Amino acid sequence: MTGFRLLIKGRLVPGAGALDVINPATGRTLTAAPRADRAQLDQAVAAAKAAFPTWSATPLPRRAALLVKLAEAVEVEQGDFARLLTQEQGKPLPQAADEIALSVATLRYFATLDLPPEVLKEDATRKVVRQHKPLGVVAAITPWNFPVVLLMIKVGPALLAGNTVVAKPAPTTPLTTLKFGELCARILPAGVVNVIVDQNDLGPALTGHPDVAKVAFTGSTATGKKVMENAAGTLKRLTLELGGNDAAIVLADVDPKEAAPKIYAGAMFNAGQACIAIKRLYVHDSIYDAVCDELGRLARETVVGDGLEPGTQMGPIQNQAQFEKVKGFLEDARRNGTIVAGGRVLERQGYFVQPTIVRDIPDHARLVREEQFGPVLPVLRYSDIDEVISRANDTDFGLGGSVWSTDRDRAFGVAARINSGTVWVNKHLDVGLDTPFAGAKQSGIGAEMGREGLEAFTQATIINMAK
């Protein structure tokens, strides 16, 4: 598996160096990816800056049509994209195919949007019009858990709005982004999209670059804070979609056998490596034992293995550094709680962790206070609804959450008291392209998706005319 290139100014070029990409299902090198240096980063930003005047002046219907062509090109190669995604990220092949399909849908969705001028006020004395103008060069920085769709959520609205892009994927999952760059080289004018890869060493230079107008970043809260610091020098526009410690609250009227599979899926999707996965589960005392038993059964029945193997339901942790962190959470679970199922790594090559359910664990445990980003779910007991809402809100994070009940009105009332950007009722992980997604507290700044996600890549200009 060779031949990957950076994309700079419409040309596919080798990197100044190389880095190994590890298949997390084997722990061995999959291939080498080109690695950019500072000079190539500057070239990419310069190319995007040079392309901006013409691209921003291109009529919106033409920009939309090119987004559709990109979507069609990805769709044609969906199988290759999915297999490559599984090899570099680890998720089971059907889930990888779903991510590619959602990526195609994302590009097509943003191609349908528009931000025409709006008349805000008109009377005998004045006419006030709001316009939305593109910002310039956008740095799109993506993580390793959903490297394709999270890129499209940035590239789609950025391009439609008239911006140009420098994309930088996580160094452990660069291959699908580089493959997307090959399609951009065929379809888009030179410099409109550029793709560089680093070893986590060029982030400050990119996010602090004076010619970058906006940074769209998805990743950890700790890194998001560094991005914000780097962007402060030029007051860049920011969209930060950061970490979460999503709480799910199960009310007493829930049928454990009916709800447990949905809750389990909400916690263990992508081996728990999702910012909006259920990270803490609070269950009413009257059904606590039954829910723990059902979740334990589901964990024991889950087929963990190489994502390319038929029948695999859960893949590995994506990289060794995260694997070591998850092992630390397993140790915390053994020390502070009771393991219902799992609790160990698999004795095989690769970064595999058994899906783990932990009960009788205190609120102060690391597994409860921190974002585990792995298939380890703490289940906590409660009896008073006011108390559990307070416990759920006792966190620096506020990305997502969910409430489970057969009484939808009561569930809505509880959901309204959860301090998170999104709260679901009787479901989790339901993110619609036409629905804005934003974090509260230290889970982010700004919104992605929906009309708000498009507006985030523009500067509103008010024209106030006297009559």
In the predicted model, what is the mean pLDDT of residues 401-430? Answer: 98
For residue 327, tell me if it sits in a domain: yes
Q: In this structure, are 203 and 263 located in the same domain?
A: no
- Residue 333 clears pLDDT 70, i.e. is over it: yes
Q: What is the pLDDT, as a whole number, of residue 180? A: 98
For residue 383, tell me if it sits in a domain: yes
Q: In this structure, are 363 and 335 located in the same domain?
A: yes
Residue pair 310/279 in contact (Cβ under 8 Å)? The answer is no
Q: In this structure, are 155 and 251 located in the same domain?
A: no
- Residue 284 clears pLDDT 70, i.e. is over it: yes
User: pTM of the predicted model, to two decimals?
Assistant: 0.97
For residue 173, tell me if it sits in a domain: yes
> What mean pLDDT, rounded, does the chain reach?
97
Cα separation, 236 vs 214, in Å, equals 5
Outline where DSSP puts E strands in 219-277: 237-241, 246-250
Q: In this structure, are 304 and 453 located in the same domain?
A: no
Separate counts of helices (H) and strands (E) for the chain:
15, 22
Residue pair 448/241 in contact (Cβ under 8 Å)? The answer is yes
- Residue 41 clears pLDDT 80, i.e. is over it: yes
Provide the residue range defining the domain that includes 129: 6-242+441-466
In the predicted model, what is the mean pLDDT of residues 20-41? Answer: 98
In the predicted model, what is the mean pLDDT of residues 355-379? Answer: 98
Q: In this structure, are 348 and 446 located in the same domain?
A: no
Count how many domains the chain has. 2
The distance of Cα 334 from the centroid of its chain, to the nearest Å, equals: 30
The residue from 241, 294, 448, 455 that is catalytic is 241
CATH number at residue 220: 3.40.605.10
DSSP 364: T
Q: In this structure, are 423 and 446 located in the same domain?
A: no
HSE toward the beta carbon, residue 424, CA cutoff 13 A: 22
Around Cβ 344, how many Cβ atoms within 10 Å?
Answer: 13
Share of the chain above pLDDT 90, in %: 99
Strand partners, 152: none
The residue from 99, 184, 275, 294 that is catalytic is 275
For residue 210, tell me if it sits in a domain: yes
For residue 336, tell me if it sits in a domain: yes
Show the tokens assigned to 197. 């890869």
Outline where DSSP puts E strands in 298-349: 338-341
Q: In this structure, are 58 and 199 located in the same domain?
A: yes
Q: In this structure, are 75 and 113 located in the same domain?
A: yes
Q: What is the pLDDT, as a whole number, of residue 2? A: 66
Residue pair 145/318 in contact (Cβ under 8 Å)? The answer is yes
- Residue 1 clears pLDDT 90, i.e. is over it: no
Residue pair 181/167 in contact (Cβ under 8 Å)? The answer is yes
- Residue 303 clears pLDDT 80, i.e. is over it: yes
Strand partners, 463: 129
Mark whether 448 is an active-site residue: no
In the predicted model, what is the mean pLDDT of residues 288-292? Answer: 98
* 229-262 pLDDT per residue, tens: 999 999 999 999 999 999 999 999 999 999 999 9
Q: In this structure, are 292 and 210 located in the same domain?
A: no
For residue 191, tell me if it sits in a domain: yes
The distance of Cα 296 from the centroid of its chain, to the nearest Å, equals: 27
Q: In this structure, are 62 and 201 located in the same domain?
A: yes
Mark whether 184 is an active-site residue: no
- The H-or-E segment that residue 103 falls in is helix 93-111
Q: In this structure, are 461 and 420 located in the same domain?
A: no
In the predicted model, what is the mean pLDDT of residues 203-221? Answer: 98
In the predicted model, what is the mean pLDDT of residues 178-202? Answer: 98
For residue 61, tell me if it sits in a domain: yes
CATH number at residue 324: 3.40.309.10
For residue 1, tell me if it sits in a domain: no
Q: In this structure, are 315 and 368 located in the same domain?
A: yes
